[in-house]
Amino acid sequence: MIDLRTPGEIEDMKPAGRFVADVLRATSRAAAPGVNLLEIDSMAHRMITAAGAESCYIDYHPSFGASPFGKVICTSVNDAVLHGLPHDYRLKKGDLLSLDFAAKVNGWVADSAVSLVVGGDETPADRTLIDTVEKALARGIAAAQPGGRMGDISAAIGETAHAAGYSVNLQFGGHGVGTEMHGDPHVANDGRAGRGFPLKPGLVIAIEPWLMAGTDQIYTDDDGWTIRSADGSRSAHAEHTIAITADGPVVLTARG
């Protein structure tokens, strides 16, 4: 079922968006060489508790997960693509880290992700990969116009990726957001403009392009959660929760 939110409900979702943005800003700043992924998870957990928010991840157990996630933030490093389960690993200078975080505030959910190179020691290839997912996200958001179709968003993302020389995996993509983290409609990261679900004011979705440097094939790690590139190439992920309004898309998780 696809729910359309009233203007008042969209206003009510904004605190969740601001909180998610705050956590990603804080954890991104904390992601320095020598910092353990479990410390990043603990920081996010403390922020959830202090804000009176709820984790969307800790008890999350979809069909593709081996068990409840058990942590509150996804930390995907280097060839880890999505759903990186925080574990006892100390970040190194030059690691490519993606942070994906969702939380519920006052009954409403927001979901967002960002990628960065730890210690700022980035290669041109890493910079291009991160820039491409960020550009794909921006173009997907710009295409989320009332009166359009879901395929407009998917096509904008896919065209951006292909133009930069990347292939696109379609097994995971964006999704509806509301009182739960994942809902309809699915937002594919490639597609044809003018096709798919009509984009109407009140639709709230997470748009989330993710790319791997050398492949579009993935596998699940032994932890039952972390998804990695099949060829070991590095990956990047970007995501925002947006609301489609009569005046166009509004980014609820903007980090400023």
* Residues placed in the known binding site for a divalent metal cation: 100, 111, 175, 208, 239
Point out the annotated binding site: 83, 100, 111, 175, 182, 208, 239
Is residue 51 within 8 Å of 43, Cβ to Cβ? no
Q: Which residues are annotated as a binding site for substrate?
A: 83, 182
By the 8 A CB rule, do 25 and 112 touch? no
